[in-house]
Structure 1
Amino acid sequence: MSNDTILREVNEELRGDRMRALWRSFGPYVIGAAVGVVLIVAASEGWSWWQNSNAARASDEFYAALDIADGDDAAAAQAALNGVIDTNVGGYPILARFRQAAILAESGQTAEAIAAYDALAGSINNQRLRELALVFAANLLVDGGDVSAVQTRVGGLISPENPMRNAAREALGLVQYRAGDLAGAAASFEAITNDPQVNPQTRNRVQLFLLQVLSEGDGVEPPLESAAEAEPDPAAEPALVEEAPAAEDAPAEAAPPAVEAEPASEAPAAEAPADDAVPADELIPDTTPAGN
């Protein structure tokens, strides 16, 4: 056996000893990390399954409550919606609270419905849902004619970049009309019709409101476009009156040439007597035979 062979075997033995020492030192950690990864994956999958299961159950309960709400038993519908709220899963509790407020409004409990919408607006983190609750509450306040109450809820929504601006303007215009402020109502409705991003259905509805306000208000000025179509511009009338004689004068100036041409056409008529003086026998040839 050569020295190279002996050295190779010794090196392999030393290498094996080092690997066994490393495994004894770090093997438990490697095994623990692997077990930890497996447990984390299992826990994540279990949590997802539990969340999906609860969401499915909350969804079923919510739609079942909506079916009950479509009936005549408001108390049963409120109880079913309370069950959805108690689950506290996903966004279904917020939707259930909105439906509860709507049921109160439909049953004539306007004050309770307004309070429910106000409570929603004060507890929801989502800005758009909070603004929606404020608009619903403002619409319920329209019949009362309390302009300040509506202004308090939706006044902050009337800004060019807010997607709820036209809904807020409509509620404000309606309560102003209800309170007798026709000028303010016309201004609110006109702001909606002038919005380039308003949808056609809203524009048509608000234009009817605006026409109603204009028909009732003597001192309310119509929008600029309506005014231009309804009344002609007084400044333009004199121009039309002055242009009419100008158009009639043009033929009058051309009349003298026609008058001057008239004698020329009569010149042949003046020579007519000379022709009439020729004897008739010169004009008609004699056809009598010569023998006679």
Structure 2
Amino acid sequence: MTLRQAMSQDNIFREIDEELRSDRMRALWRRFAPYVIGAAVGVVVLVAVNEGWTWYHANNAAQSSDELYEAFDLIDGGDLAAAQTQLDTLVADGSGNYPTLAQFRKAGVMAKEGKLAEAVAAYDALANSQSNPRLRELALVLAGTLLVDGGTLADVESRVGSIAVEGSPLRNAAREALGLAQYKTGDFTAAQASFEAVINDPLTQSTVRNRMGYYLAQLLAQGAVAVEPEAAADAAATAIDDIVSDEAPAAEATAEDAPAETTEAVPAAQ
């Protein structure tokens, strides 16, 4: 066999091999093409569904936000009945976290209407249903603050006692509610300790610290405080100066200093 014949045979075998490979690829493609195409279509569908859901969720969240602010406007305008209806609708049909915010605001409206028992029950229900520990603590503090006037010391302690500790973001609001409830029952020593715990907290805002000093000044005026620590003396003196200058810190307190939608119980001289 000559070299030319050998090369010719090699070319023939190569062409046959390539044809066989091509036939195998076509057979494999015919076999697996539906799966490949199906997977590609599935990816496209998943992306489209995700984008559609994101748009739908964002659109609903924006609508829920508008509805919540409409309820706020109704409350500010004094139309509490219409506000309650708006909030009920948002609780039932709202998106995202807006139903929870609506429940908090609804309980606040109840308190504003003087329905303290219903408001406390609403806050308790929120506390029992929340997985977020901070929202749960907020509901308990708001309920405890309402119970300063409408409940017993045990009622307040059962809600804020575990929150009035170091490490809790709402510890000072809880301590204030606890101190006021203790004052109401005549336990002045415990009330003094609760107010001083707020004063001595380095993270306490100045307006809150002055308000605690105002409470201590009331205790001092009654003779209920026998021993006055230096920190309490400074805070009480500041509070008295503000009172004399018609700038009592209790009047300067903002929504950031105490739980929203609650009435502040200030110790009164007896």
Interval containing the TM-score (normalised by the shorter chain): 0.7 to 0.9
User: Structure 1: any 5+ residue segments left out of the alignment?
Assistant: 229-292
Deviation at residue 145 of structure 1 after TM alignment: 6.2
One of 143, 146, 149 as aligned partner of 1:137: 143
Name the residue aligned to 1:102. Answer: 108
One of 192, 195, 199 as aligned partner of 1:193: 199
- Structure 1 stretches of at least 4 aligned residues deviating more than 6 Å after TM superposition: none
Partner SS state of residue 143, structure 1: helix
Contact 1:139 1:171 in 2 (8 A): yes
In angstroms, what is the RMSD of aligned CA positions?
1.9
Partner SS state of residue 42, structure 1: helix
Deviation at residue 77 of structure 1 after TM alignment: 0.8
User: Structure 2: any 5+ residue segments left out of the alignment?
Assistant: 235-270
Contact 1:185 1:213 in 2 (8 A): no
Equivalent-residue separation in structure 1 for 2:128 and 2:162 (angstroms): 15
One of 121, 124, 128 as aligned partner of 1:122: 128
Equivalent-residue separation in structure 2 for 1:88 and 1:137 (angstroms): 24
Equivalent-residue separation in structure 2 for 1:190 and 1:219 (angstroms): 12
Q: TM-score, normalised by structure 2?
A: 0.79
Change (3 A) 1:32 1:227: closer
Contact 2:141 2:174 in 1 (8 A): yes
Amino acid at match of 2:39: A
Name the residue aligned to 2:39. Answer: 33
Matched residues, number: 229
- 5 Å-filtered alignment, 1:1-292, equals 2-144=8-150, 146-218=152-224, 220-225=226-231
Deviation at residue 214 of structure 1 after TM alignment: 2.2
Deviation at residue 227 of structure 1 after TM alignment: 6.9
Contact 1:145 1:178 in 2 (8 A): no
Amino acid at match of 1:199: Q
Amino acid at match of 1:108: G
Which piece of structure 1 moves more, 72-81 or 175-184?
Answer: 175-184
How many percent identity over aligned positions? Answer: 55
Partner SS state of residue 78, structure 2: coil
Amino acid at match of 2:145: N
Deviation at residue 218 of structure 1 after TM alignment: 4.5
Partner SS state of residue 195, structure 1: coil
Change (3 A) 1:179 1:4: same
Deviation at residue 102 of structure 1 after TM alignment: 1.0
Partner SS state of residue 227, structure 2: coil
Equivalent-residue separation in structure 1 for 2:126 and 2:70 (angstroms): 22
Deviation at residue 226 of structure 1 after TM alignment: 5.5
